[in-house]
A and B are shown apart, each in its own frame.
Chain A
Amino acid sequence: MPEHFRTEPAMRPKIMIAVLGTVAVIGGGTYAYLEYNRGTADADAMRPVASVTATELLTAFTSDEAAADHRFVGTAEQAIEVKGTIRAMEPVGSDKTNVILETGDPMAGVVCEFSNADLPGDWRSGASVTVKGICTGLLMDVVLVRCAASQ
């Protein structure tokens, strides 16, 4: 080793601390940057916590909304899987589509919002489908957002 690269033994702990400190600062900064810019996850990337039919889901909310909120909406963001027949499909703006699942109640459905990019091209009214989505609660309908077709 060239003479000028050699360090005194007393200096080595200080160099180690400086190196570790630099790594910690860069690592912490990278983590903070990535965490700050983390995008929202689609339901597709989540394991569903419940699997129900559209009729069962609406019944759960209309019979005991607080209990259904606890089970299907949850305290942290979670996905559920809903099976049903497509009652209607409605465009929302230019990049989203609502897939409304039949519930047997003409006043209320299960509304599943898809990005058009995630909507299967062969879905039509009357088709039996399974949707994975993030349940946000009950208004006129039970609302699911960031949906994906369940495999």
Chain B
Amino acid sequence: MNTFKLAILAALLAPMTASAQERFGTRNGHIAFFSETPMENIEGNNHKVSSVWDATTGALQFAVLIKAFEFEKALMQEHFNENYMESNTFPKAEFKGKMTGVTAEQLKKPGTYEVMVEGDLTIHGVTKPVKTKGTLTVEANGTIKASSDFMVRPEDHGIKIPGTVRKNITEQIAIRVRMDYTRM
């Protein structure tokens, strides 16, 4: 059983020991990345992000299948998987950390909160600490929308960009995270 499914099981079983915990999840989170240079713009979108957030402890986890990133152009998708992300060797990216700045009590009524997300981001088999701001919106129907934008340097995760295409790809890739959480 993979570690992410174990985390989900733990999240579901935990209420037996701590009834006050508030857990939210999604299987359809959206993560996009962007590289914009004068040579070309590259955009990848993944609408199959799994995430679990425990509002009581703040524990937050994401998991992404690299091959589920989609591109407008097939050649970009092939280069992304084969040359840069090596998705046959590193099929997933993960984040494990905490979200702070909002309490479980605040989630009971609609509102928007500025939050801080901090943890370990594993891409291409290399784990690096990440700290970034985000926004959490509680809607009237109880859905929680979370968003965050931050930058990642490919080289920090051991992703080598050949000199011949260095001008085609930005030094820092912009990451956009959009999650619609529902209660688990």
Instruction: Report whether B4 and A140 are in contact in the complex, using a CB–CB cutoff of 8 Å.
Output: yes
Instruction: Report whether A139 and B91 are in contact in the complex, using a CB–CB cutoff of 8 Å.
Output: no
CA distance A98 to B30 in the complex (A): 14
Interface residues on B, range: 20 to 34
Instruction: Report whether A38 and B73 are in contact in the complex, using a CB–CB cutoff of 8 Å.
Output: yes
Residues of B within 8 A of A137 (CB): 65, 67-68, 91-92
Q: How many CB-defined contacts (below 8 Å) exist between A and B?
A: 78
Main secondary structure of the interface of A (DSSP, over half): mixed
The 10 residue pairs across chains A and B that have the minimum distance between CB atoms: A136-B67, A136-B68, A139-B50, A136-B65, A137-B65, A40-B74, A38-B74, A140-B50, A143-B48, A139-B63
Contact with A along B38-82 (1 / 0, CB 8 A): 000000000110100000000000011101101111110110000
Residue A13 at the chain B interface, CB threshold 8 Å: no
In this complex, what residue of A is CB-closest to B12?
A: A107
**B-side interface residues toward A, CB under 8 Å?**
1-2, 4-5, 8-9, 12, 27-28, 30, 47-48, 50, 63-65, 67-68, 70-75, 77-78, 88, 91-92
Residue A7 at the chain B interface, CB threshold 8 Å: no
Q: Contacts A113-B47, A136-B48 known; A107 to B28 CB distance under 8 Å?
A: no
B73 to chain A, nearest CB (A): 6
The answer, among A40, A65, A138, for a CB contact under 8 Å with B70, is: A40
In this complex, what residue of B is CB-closest to A105?
A: B5
In this complex, what residue of B is CB-closest to A108?
A: B5
Main secondary structure of the interface of B (DSSP, over half): mixed
Stretch at the interface among A17-25, A89-97, A118-126: A89-97
Residue A44 at the chain B interface, CB threshold 8 Å: no
In this complex, what residue of A is CB-closest to B68?
A: A136
Residue A75 at the chain B interface, CB threshold 8 Å: yes
Residues of A within 8 A of B12 (CB): 107
Q: How many residues of A contact B (CB 8 A)?
A: 32
Residues of A within 8 A of B70 (CB): 40, 145-146
Residues of B within 8 A of A35 (CB): 75
CA distance A39 to B72 in the complex (A): 6
B172 to chain A, nearest CB (A): 24
Task: Identify 21 residue pairs between A and B in the complex whose beta-carbon atoms are under 8 Å apart, listed by A's number.
Answer: A39-B73, A40-B74, A41-B74, A62-B5, A69-B91, A73-B67, A73-B91, A92-B47, A93-B30, A96-B47, A107-B8, A108-B5, A111-B48, A113-B48, A136-B68, A138-B2, A139-B27, A139-B64, A139-B92, A140-B27, A143-B48
Instruction: Report whether B73 and A139 are in contact in the complex, using a CB–CB cutoff of 8 Å.
Output: no
